[in-house]
Chains A and B, each alone.
Chain A
Amino acid sequence: MSSVAAALMGFAGGMVGGLLGVGGGILFVPALAIFMDESQVRAEATSLLAIVPVAMVAVWRQLGYGNVRVREGLVIGALSPLGVGIGVVVANAVSQRALELIFGCLALVIAAQLVIRALRPPAPAKDPAPERP
């Protein structure tokens, strides 16, 4: 029964991921931790494996819709290893509760930014076109 719940939450994670441009880990991690009884760090590692094919499929779809700046996406990815290394080492060094609190606070900060931005009045017409390379 809990496997069914985890699979449903996986589907929801993919849907949210495709809709919002995230890998879905934000739902995969709680699905694995809550329904499959994985520790926070193990849920996170397993979530990363699930994210790879989900993101590949989402990129394929978004390429078709013309929403991907391939070069800049690859630049961001290529320049991420330093941060990835720091994050993985820290995740294995700190307590599970600390990871939960960090994750929770991060989510709140980003939510506030998005609401502020979305509720702002429309930008005036003089707003410059998005910067392009």
Chain B
Amino acid sequence: MMSTRTLKLAAIGTAAGAFSGLLGVGGGSVMVPLLIVWLGYGEREATGTSMMAIVVIAALAVTLQAFYGNVDPPNAALVGLPAIGGAIAGTALQQRLPERAISLLFAVLLVVIAVELIIP
């Protein structure tokens, strides 16, 4: 018998997995807000835990996508290798920011991307 908390984690995992497989993202954009709003995480804790789950989710999703022949490893390295440096800088910067600023920056990023995608 799963506890309510485990069921919530399962629901977050399923939603994040679906968005990850569907949209090619790690699912963090779904997990971070749900961990904060639903499970009472602090912003920083939500982002760190989201990353933990992303490792598992993205590894699963990329394995499935590989069966469809959609993965391009050289281009993955082209964006992924600079991104590793970016992630180290980003996590360091995060420790120096107020938590509300993290939420607002997240929102700005999402709006920019949405506009790019929706307007052809």
Contacts and interface: CB of A to CB of B under 8 A. Distances in A.
A and B together in one complex: yes
Interface of A: 3, 6-32, 36, 38, 41-59, 61-63, 65, 67-70, 72-92, 97, 99-108, 110-115, 117-118, 128-131, 133
A101 B118 contact: yes
B65 A88 contact: yes
23 contacts: A10-B79, A11-B85, A13-B79, A18-B94, A20-B28, A20-B90, A23-B58, A50-B76, A52-B55, A52-B62, A54-B84, A61-B88, A67-B47, A68-B49, A68-B51, A76-B13, A83-B14, A83-B16, A84-B21, A85-B17, A88-B68, A102-B22, A107-B113
Contact of B48 (A26, A50, A62): A62
Interface of B: 5-6, 9-10, 12-33, 36-37, 39-42, 44-62, 64-66, 68, 70-73, 75-95, 97, 100, 102-111, 113-118, 120
B86 to A, nearest CB: 3
A77 B57 contact: yes
